[in-house]
């Protein structure tokens, strides 16, 4: 037990965060987060991932400050310039600064990732927890549907969805979400099955809590950690699918600075101005690598059972 | 004397009738049927329900009222939705996906023409993934925590994270544009077109059968880049799974026993531990193969590879819904089929997984 030192404010907080007798629920929650953070921050791989994702957030948030324009202003006399002091990453076929476009594109990447998460998490959690908690034929039907979606080729299905809905960023997000929710339902169900018969659920039931209340307040919070780990790991795949849709011309439409679409429009300059199509690809690679690293690290901290040694 | 069974295996002898394999096959078959119904239901919804006006999508917006009405009746859109779906299923079962607007042929004929190219690419890519990924995974497990393990980890991370269409482009830039050691996009040099009679549609096999070795080696040259690029993900996935399977085995006591007996390390690794991993690997390889059949969409676009993926994407841009749906159904069936097959193989090969 660390000694309380009034001189050092940090050791005071550390004392508050590690004391063995938390005073309230929130105190205990802070402590749990802090302890998870301690083991997370010791993992260099996970921290690398965290730094990458934080940089993405900062780029997206401060895009107006970092860039000189909005990434769509054309200077046709400056087409296809090589990287230089004026244009750090060169310019594209319409004289737009590639660095600016990459920075503004980070907002689109975040938009896709957050929107897919917002759609996918509630669907997966709802289907998984309901199936696991209620069981019986509800479980059978819901899991059959989940299995069918799980068995599908994702990219092709997303392609077909976008084809029917029409190309566009929002339709691409919808198509990705429609094909990405099934693993979360599986995981939520598996977690629910292990929680369902535990004593705190029984206690809640004896007190007369409704099924909805038990699902929302007692089961869902306990499913969250493994679902979030999986979500972080899947983020890389979601970004790659979104970029692929953009590359095929089915996602974000020009002049939006979406990274996949940038690769696609720069493709014809590959042999002579190689930086035009290759640089956005590096951006995609770094971000999806960041999510993979972060997911691996989170899994080690939150879900040590499923670690891969 | 009771039943003669090897020591310790009494519990595994199953005396029940019918033999458990019947139940397995039944379960397999029913899950296949269910998934098929699900697949067709979704493609039906995509093709008939979601587009604002499926008739307009076919006849175009300049068609006269009579043409429109005739097509409306021909497509059976006046019937109830469930009946439309049943008609759709019976068509799919008969291999009738309708006509492609783009090529004016039956979609099924088109798919049969384009499928071998995808099959060739995905098969070679899977082989590359297996023959490089498995030794890499085994090596990473054996040298856990050492530089080789870290190298495999980095390669795996790269394979998981890289956008495959971008990697293909960079590879083309380096090996075709700058170094000029490998041929550019396409399946074969133009002047070799038509030299070989398409028998199987797989150029490697056709040219070898007809002893056109020049064509054969040209096709091999053209295969190197796209199949390696397509194999990146497979390689990463297979190496990672092999590593974790091998680590599981190497920590078991029988491995210790084998070492204590004084067996050579290579025999411990390949003869004992690896043999137990083999069965699990079947499933992984099956999954990979299925995902590569699907994943070839992007690789085919980059390398102008005349396969199903390219067929689907070009149809997409021509709003050729019949072709898109047909392609989706066929790839979906292959995907699901391979998955279920590898699962069944796994259960056949490993008695522990049967769980009767």
Angle B323-B325-B331 from CA coordinates, rounded to 5°: 100
Q: How far is CA A263 from CA A1, A102, A277, B41, in A?
A: 55, 11, 4, 35
Query: Which pLDDT value is given to residue A309?
Result: 36
Query: Which pLDDT value is given to residue B49?
Result: 67
Does residue B283 register a pLDDT over 50? yes
Q: What is the pLDDT of residues A130-173, one digit of tens each?
A: 999 998 889 888 988 888 888 777 888 888 888 788 888 999 99
- Long-range contacts from A204-211, C-beta under 8 angstroms, 24+ separation: A211/A133, A211/A134
The overall average pLDDT reported for chain B is 82
Query: Which pLDDT value is given to residue A6?
Result: 55
Query: Which pLDDT value is given to residue B100?
Result: 80
C-alpha to C-alpha distance for A25 and A30, rounded to whole angstroms: 9
Confidence at B4, pLDDT banded by 50, 70, 90 = very low
The overall average pLDDT reported for chain A is 85
Q: Find which of B52, B102, B163 to mutate to test the A interface (most A CBs within 10 Å of its CB).
A: B163
Chain A residues touching B31 at Cβ < 8 A: 147
Q: Which residue has the higher pLDDT, B136 or B322?
A: B136
C-alpha to C-alpha distance for A108 and A110, rounded to whole angstroms: 5
* ipTM metric: 0.85
Which of B150-159, B183-192, B339-348 reaches the highest mean pLDDT? B150-159
Chain B residues touching A161 at Cβ < 8 A: 46, 50
Lowest-confidence region among A190-194, A285-289, B33-37, B347-351 = B347-351
Chain B residues touching A289 at Cβ < 8 A: 157-158, 161
Interface of B with A in 142-181 (CB under 8 A): 144, 157-158, 160-167, 169-170, 172-173, 177
Task: For B327, name the nearest residue in chain A, comparing CA atoms only.
Answer: A156
What is the pLDDT averaged over residues A87-92?
78
Query: Which pLDDT value is given to residue B280?
Result: 84
Rounded to the nearest angstrom, the gap between the alpha carbon of residue B306 and the centroid of all alpha carbons in its chain is 17
Task: For A269, name the nearest residue in chain B, comparing CA atoms only.
Answer: B173
Does residue A186 register a pLDDT over 60? yes
C-alpha to C-alpha distance for A182 and A164, rounded to whole angstroms: 21
Query: Which pLDDT value is given to residue B57?
Result: 65
Chain A residues touching B171 at Cβ < 8 A: none
Query: Can you tell me which residue has the tokens 């699901």?
Result: B336
CATH for A47-307, among 1.10.3720.10, 1.10.1300.10, 3.10.180.10, 3.90.1150.10?
1.10.3720.10
Name residue B265's beta-bridge partners. Answer: none
C-alpha to C-alpha distance for B49 and B86, rounded to whole angstroms: 14
Task: Phi first, then psi: give them for residue B298, nearest 5 degrees.
Answer: -75, -40
What is the pLDDT averaged over residues B174-193?
82
C-alpha to C-alpha distance for A63 and A267, rounded to whole angstroms: 25
Task: For B322, name the nearest residue in chain A, comparing CA atoms only.
Answer: A160
| Domains detected in chain B | 18-93 (no CATH), 107-353 (1.10.3720.10)
Query: Which pLDDT value is given to residue A5?
Result: 52
Lowest-confidence region among A46-50, B242-246, B322-326 = B322-326
Query: Which pLDDT value is given to residue B242?
Result: 93
Task: Phi first, then psi: give them for residue B106, nearest 5 degrees.
Answer: -65, 140
What is the pLDDT averaged over residues B266-273?
88
Query: Which pLDDT value is given to residue A274?
Result: 85
Q: Find which of B41, B97, B160 to mutate to test the A interface (most A CBs within 10 Å of its CB).
A: B160
Lowest-confidence region among A247-261, A291-305, B163-177, B279-293 = A291-305
Query: Which pLDDT value is given to residue B290?
Result: 86
Confidence at B3, pLDDT banded by 50, 70, 90 = very low
Does residue A37 register a pLDDT over 80? yes
C-alpha to C-alpha distance for B103 and B312, rounded to whole angstroms: 12
Nearest-CA distance A283 → chain B (Å)? 10
CB contact under 8 A, B328 and A270: no
Nearest in space to B310 (alpha carbons), one of A248, A252, A264, A265: A248
CB atoms within 10 A of CB A30: 15
C-alpha to C-alpha distance for A282 and B21, rounded to whole angstroms: 50
A273 backbone φψ class: left, alpha, beta (φ>0; ψ -120 to 50): beta
CB contact under 8 A, B160 and A147: no
Confidence at B8, pLDDT banded by 50, 70, 90 = very low
Query: Which pLDDT value is given to residue B10?
Result: 47
Query: Can you tell me which residue has the tokens 């090969």?
Result: B349
| CB-based contact, A156 to chain B, within 8 Å | yes
- For residue B93, the surrounding DSSP H or E stretch is helix B81-93
C-alpha to C-alpha distance for B104 and A143, rounded to whole angstroms: 40
Q: What is the pLDDT of residues A231-268, one digit of tens each?
A: 998 999 999 999 999 998 888 888 888 999 999 888 88
Biggest CA–CA distance in chain A, Å, is 75
CB contact under 8 A, A160 and B325: yes
Confidence at A82, pLDDT banded by 50, 70, 90 = confident
| CB-based contact, B57 to chain A, within 8 Å | no
Does residue A308 register a pLDDT over 60? no
CB contact under 8 A, B34 and A148: yes
C-alpha to C-alpha distance for B203 and B197, rounded to whole angstroms: 9
Q: Are B97 and B48 in contact (CB under 8 A)?
A: no
Q: What is the pLDDT of residues B94-129, one digit of tens each?
A: 888 878 877 778 888 888 888 888 989 999 999 999
Nearest in space to B328 (alpha carbons), one of B134, B92, B133, B146: B92
What is the pLDDT averaged over residues B141-157?
91
What is the pLDDT averaged over residues B147-160?
92
Nearest in space to B276 (alpha carbons), one of B258, B250, B257: B250
Query: Which pLDDT value is given to residue B355?
Result: 53
DSSP helix/strand/coil, A1: coil
| CB-based contact, B316 to chain A, within 8 Å | yes
Q: Are B164 and B296 in contact (CB under 8 A)?
A: no
Q: Are A286 and A48 in contact (CB under 8 A)?
A: no
Q: Are B85 and B49 in contact (CB under 8 A)?
A: no
Residues with Cβ within 8 Å of B58's Cβ and at least 6 positions away in sequence, in order, are: B71, B75, B101, B321
User: CB-based burial of residue B65 (10 Å sphere; 0-12 exposed, 13-18 middle, 19+ buried)?
Assistant: exposed
Distinct helix (H) and strand (E) counts, chain B: 14, 0
Confidence at B1, pLDDT banded by 50, 70, 90 = very low
What is the pLDDT averaged over residues B199-215?
79
C-alpha to C-alpha distance for A150 and A186, rounded to whole angstroms: 9
């Amino acid at each position: 037990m660390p000694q309380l030192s009034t001189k050092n404010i940090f050791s005071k907080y550390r004392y508050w965060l590690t004391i063995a007798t938390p005073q309230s629920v929130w105190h205990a929650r802070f402590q749990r987060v802090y302890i998870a953070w301690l083991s997370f921050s010791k993992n260099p791989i996970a921290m690398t991932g965290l730094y990458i994702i934080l940089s993405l957030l900062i780029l997206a948030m401060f895009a107006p400050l970092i860039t000189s324009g909005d990434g769509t202003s054309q200077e046709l006399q400056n087409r296809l310039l090589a990287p230089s002091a004026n244009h750090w990453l060169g310019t594209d076929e319409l004289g737009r600064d590639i660095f600016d476009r990459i920075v503004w594109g980070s907002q689109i990447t975040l938009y896709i990732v957050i929107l897919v998460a917002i759609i996918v998490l509630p669907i997966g959690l709802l289907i998984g927890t309901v199936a696991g908690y209620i069981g019986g034929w509800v479980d059978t039907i819901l899991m059959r549907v989940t299995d069918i979606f799980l068995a599908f080729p994702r990219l092709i299905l997303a392609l077909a969805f976008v084809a029917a809905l029409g190309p566009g960023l929002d339709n691409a997000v919808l198509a990705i979400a429609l094909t990405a929710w099934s693993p979360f339902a599986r995981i939520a169900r598996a977690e629910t099955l292990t929680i369902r018969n535990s004593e705190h659920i029984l206690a809640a039931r004896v007190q007369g809590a409704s099924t909805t209340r038990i699902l929302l307040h007692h089961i869902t919070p306990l499913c969250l950690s493994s679902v979030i780990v999986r979500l972080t790991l899947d983020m890389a795949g979601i970004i790659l699918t979104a970029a692929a849709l953009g590359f095929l011309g089915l996602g974000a439409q020009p002049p939006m600075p979406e990274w996949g679409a940038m690769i696609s429009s720069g493709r014809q300059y590959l042999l002579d101005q190689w930086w035009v199509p290759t640089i956005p690809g590096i951006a995609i690679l770094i971000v999806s690598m960041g999510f993979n690293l972060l997911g691996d690290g989170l899994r080690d901290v939150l879900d040590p059972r499923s670690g891969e040694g | 004397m009771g039943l003669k069974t090897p020591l310790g295996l009494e519990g595994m002898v199953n005396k029940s009738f019918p033999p458990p394999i019947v139940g397995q096959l039944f379960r397999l078959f029913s899950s296949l049927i269910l998934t098929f119904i699900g697949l067709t239901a979704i493609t039906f919804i995509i093709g008939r329900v979601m587009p604002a006006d499926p008739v307009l999508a076919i006849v175009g917006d300049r068609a006269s009222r009579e043409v429109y009405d005739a097509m409306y009746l021909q497509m059976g859109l006046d019937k109830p939705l469930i009946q439309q779906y049943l008609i759709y299923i019976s068509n799919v079962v008969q291999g009738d996906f309708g006509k492609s607007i783009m090529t004016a042929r039956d979609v099924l004929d088109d798919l049969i023409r384009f499928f071998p190219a995808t099959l060739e690419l995905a098969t070679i890519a899977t082989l590359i993934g297996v023959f490089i990924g498995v030794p890499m995974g085994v090596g990473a497990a054996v040298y856990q925590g050492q530089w080789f393990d870290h190298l495999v980890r980095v390669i795996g991370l790269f394979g998981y994270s890289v956008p495959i269409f971008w990697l293909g482009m960079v590879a083309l830039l380096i090996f075709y544009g700058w170094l000029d050691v490998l041929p550019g996009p396409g399946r074969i040099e133009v002047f070799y077109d038509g030299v070989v009679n398409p028998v199987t549609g797989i150029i490697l096999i056709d040219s070898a059968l007809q002893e056109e070795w020049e064509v054969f080696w040209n096709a091999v040259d053209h295969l190197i880049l796209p199949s390696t690029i397509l194999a990146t993900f497979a390689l990463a996935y297979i190496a990672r799974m092999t590593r974790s399977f091998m680590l599981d085995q190497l920590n078991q006591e029988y491995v210790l026993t084998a070492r204590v007996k004084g067996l050579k390390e290579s025999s411990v690794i390949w003869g004992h531990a690896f043999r137990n991993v083999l069965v699990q690997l079947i499933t992984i390889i099956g999954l990979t193969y299925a995902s590569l059949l699907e994943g070839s969409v992007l690789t085919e676009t980059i390398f102008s590879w005349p396969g199903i993926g390219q067929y689907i994407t070009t149809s997409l841009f021509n709003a050729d819904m019949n072709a898109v749906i047909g392609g989706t159904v066929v790839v979906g069936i292959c995907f699901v089929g391979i998955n279920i097959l590898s699962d069944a193989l796994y259960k056949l090969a490993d008695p522990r997984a049967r769980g009767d």
